[in-house]
Amino acid sequence: MPRPPTKAQAIGNAMAARIVEGELEPGAWLPSERELARAYGADRSTVRRALRMLADQGLVQLRHGSGAQVRTARKVRRAAADITRQVGAWRGFHVSAQQDGRRPFTRTTVAEVEAGERLASRLDVPAGTRVLERARVQGVEGEPPVQTATTWVILEIVERIPVLRQVDTGPGGLYSRLEEAGHRITFEESVTCRLPRADEQETLEIAPDQPVLTLWRRAYDQDDRVVEVTHRVVVGDRHELVYRFGSGA
């Protein structure tokens, strides 16, 4: 059985929830160590460990002699539908970040890989099939990364659109190239939450107990065939995902 969280972890998790939910806004000061110790029935050394955990997660800044202050970095407010339209030269993360007044960045690597069983089932191909992998780390300038986004494309599509092997696939990226090739794309996305793996902690600059959202997106063409799969790992407190519904949306 997993061990229950320590007292310091429990306090840190409770304070983190208040920050992530917006109860404690950017720039706000947390209660003093003495007040937190009284509120949670803990000694001040335990409270200090909890505050250090929050600082390690990037949620607060510890200011000697003043206390702990919620970091002022804003979340990227991202529209879930930002991949469905091209704005200028961009789709997806860059569109939402720019509309929020931020300067986004993307670091991309491209390789050909074999699809394992899990990925193959999502792509609807046999395990071991060679596919093109486009791995990206994305964020806004001056701040830690917001997400990783890894895309796999079946090679039949890549052979017809060879620019997909390039780091820069041109204005609008992969989805614009698919549309130009005559594909009418429909998207399906699922969202879950978990703790990050060790490699994700290093890439995204987060602590082991800092939750991440994991999103799997499948792109279907007009024949209901899967042509592409994307897996995103998003730092929960650096990102707000907005869905808009209704006939007028």
**Domain boundaries of the chain, sorted by first residue:** 7-70, 76-242
Residues 146, 108: Cα–Cα separation, whole Å: 14
**pTM (predicted TM-score):** 0.75
Tell me what pLDDT residue 248 has: 60
202's tokens: 């290093």
Low-confidence ranges of the chain (pLDDT < 70): 1-4, 72-73, 247-249
Tell me what pLDDT residue 22 has: 80
CATH code of the domain occupying 7-70: 1.10.10.10
C-alpha distances out from residue 115 to 52, 125, 127, 237, 239, Å = 41, 8, 6, 31, 29
CATH code of the domain occupying 76-242: 3.40.1410.10
- Which sign does the torsion angle of CA 83, 85, 90, 95 carry? negative
Residues 214, 109: Cα–Cα separation, whole Å: 20
Q: Which residue type sits at 201?
A: Q
